[in-house]
Amino acid sequence: MFVGPVADGATMPIGLSPFISTSPMFFRSSRITVTKNRKRFGAITIEAPMTKELIAAIAATEVGRDAYLINAFGKPFVTAGLGNKMRDWCDEAKLPECSSHGLRKAAAVALAENGASAPALCAIFGWTNLKTAQIYIEKANKRTLAATAYKDLEEAEQEESVSLSRPQNSNETNEGKSDA
């Protein structure tokens, strides 16, 4: 698959819509390749499988001859143009607080919550430093730990618990007993 320029110094895969198929074989072999042109680190190539959702979205969308994402003029987006269009799409979806960067961050946390490792996140997002991935893993761990703590609390509240300081039978009292 060839590549062409898009947002954040990245490139967008070039392909023709007839290559989009819903066959199981296509899902297993379809990959998307993006090259981020980063000033500080140089070009970074990201290669990842295309999800069923992405393939379905591409199949249901008008695509250009040279790129999957095209602007109103039928041309591939330039960096600023795609960023502006993402803003428009987020606003149309009534998600004014979302942005391209925010959606990438949310995806990183979601992947980390589902067990993605720091090297896996680096491979997916093109990061060169494991510390960057660790930020999202820690955020995911906090969410997971908080959810687990509340789930454990709910389960404990459902169980019938007996206090050790309560009388064992109706004739017994706690008088004269010590905690020692």
pLDDT, tens only, 1-30: 333 333 344 444 434 434 444 444 444 457
Residue numbers of the domain that contains 76:
1-95
Please say which residue of 79, 95, 111 terminates a domain: 95
Q: Which amino acid is at 49?
A: P
pTM confidence score: 0.62
Identify whether residues 127 and 71 lie together within a single domain: no
Whether 93 has a pLDDT exceeding 90, the answer reads yes
- Give the whole-angstrom CA distance, residue 2 versus residue 21: 18
Token pair for 149: 């703590």
Residues 6+ apart with CB under 8 A from 63: 15, 16, 17, 69, 70
Q: How many domains does the chain have?
A: 2
Identify whether residues 42 and 117 lie together within a single domain: no
72 pLDDT band (50/70/90 cuts)? confident
Q: Which stretches of 40-161 are assigned E, i.e. beta strand?
A: 42-49
68 pLDDT band (50/70/90 cuts)? confident
Token pair for 159: 């169980």
- Give the whole-angstrom CA distance, residue 120 versus residue 83: 26
Is 76 in contact with 64 (CB distance < 8 Å)? yes
For the chain, give the percent of residues with pLDDT over 70. 68
Q: Could you tell me how far CA 34 lies from the centroid of its own chain?
A: 17
Q: What pLDDT is attached to residue 23?
A: 42
Is 175 contained in some domain? no
For the chain, give the percent of residues with pLDDT over 90. 28
Identify whether residues 48 and 135 lie together within a single domain: no
